[in-house]
């Protein structure tokens, strides 16, 4: 499981955008986001680098 600190998420739409970005490359990925702590937990076959790049490209910088 990957635990990432992701900035800029403010609503459910942001969570959906992050989820879609990850699942576009790994359709079986499980994505859990917490707006209060600005964290995203992923169960995915992607590497941490791949996941970070996808989330950042979706407009949400990964800070950890």
Write the secondary structure of 17-51 as one string of H (helix), E (strand) and C (coil).
HHHHHHHHHCCCCEEEEECCCCEEEEECCCCHHHH
Please write the tens of the pLDDT for every residue from 10-31: 999 999 999 999 999 999 999 9
pLDDT value of position 63: 86
- For the chain, the structural domain boundaries read 2-57
CATH number among 3.30.160.110, 3.40.470.10, 3.30.70.100, 3.50.30.50, domain 2-57: 3.30.70.100
pLDDT value of position 64: 65
Check: pTM over 0.95? Answer yes or no: no
The H or E element spanning position 3 is strand 2-5
pLDDT value of position 26: 98
SS3 10: coil
- Mean pLDDT value of segment 58-63: 95
Please give the Cα distance from 48 to 29 (Å, whole number): 13
């Amino acid at each position: 499981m990957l635990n990432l600190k992701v900035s800029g998420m403010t609503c459910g739409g942001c969570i959906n955008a992050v989820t879609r970005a990850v699942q576009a490359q790994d359709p079986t990925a499980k994505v859990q986001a917490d707006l209060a702590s600005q964290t995203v937990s992923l169960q995915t076959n992607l590497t941490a680098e791949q996941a970070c790049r996808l989330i950042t490209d979706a407009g949400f910088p990964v800070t950890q």
